[in-house]
Amino acid sequence: METPENSDFVPAKLLKKYYHPDYSHLFNKIKDIKTPVKNGILMGLLDGNWHSELELIRIAKKKQKYMGAVTLGTMVNSLNHSLKNDYVEKKVMNGKLHYKISDNYVGLTRAAYNKYRFNME
């Protein structure tokens, strides 16, 4: 029997590539977010597209008057740190910083927010 020499069969890489977090874990993390600004930012990112830093700052300013690029960056780092992964991705496009929810988490986040909104009513 031959052993695969392809690095695609390394268990750690397979787990990282195909493992998606448990829905209840993500739901509990989102449910515990009490900051209206963070909830607003996540709601703006639910479509799964890239959004400019300015667009997200505009969304956040509806909830908190004093909001800027540094505060937004801190909030994104806080979200990534609390979930222990790259939940919100960053990318520089045309010289401007853009954000989006990682493709692995868009569907789960939508489901969690739909359930979150349903439980709040």
| Percentage of residues of the chain with pLDDT beyond 90 | 19
Measured distance CA(89)–CA(91) in Å, rounded: 7
Residue 116 falls inside a structural domain: yes
Q: How many CB atoms lie within 10 A of CB 7?
A: 7
Dmax over Cα atoms in the chain, in whole Å? 65
Question: What pLDDT score does 95 carry?
Answer: 92
Measured distance CA(46)–CA(113) in Å, rounded: 9
Q: How many domains does the chain divide into? A: 1
Domain of residue 91, residue span: 21-120
Give the pLDDT band of residue 82 (cuts 50, 70, 90): confident
Measured distance CA(96)–CA(41) in Å, rounded: 18
CATH of residue 110: 1.10.10.10
Per-residue pLDDT for 27 more than 70? no
Question: What pLDDT score does 75 carry?
Answer: 86
Per-residue pLDDT for 99 more than 90? yes
Contacts of 56 (CB under 8 A, 6+ apart): 41, 44, 45, 72, 99
Residue 77 falls inside a structural domain: yes
How do residues 60-76 score in pLDDT, each as one tens digit? 888 888 888 898 888 88
| Residue whose pair of structure tokens reads 């927010």 in the numeric block | 113
Residue 14 falls inside a structural domain: no
Residue 91 falls inside a structural domain: yes
Residue 8 falls inside a structural domain: no
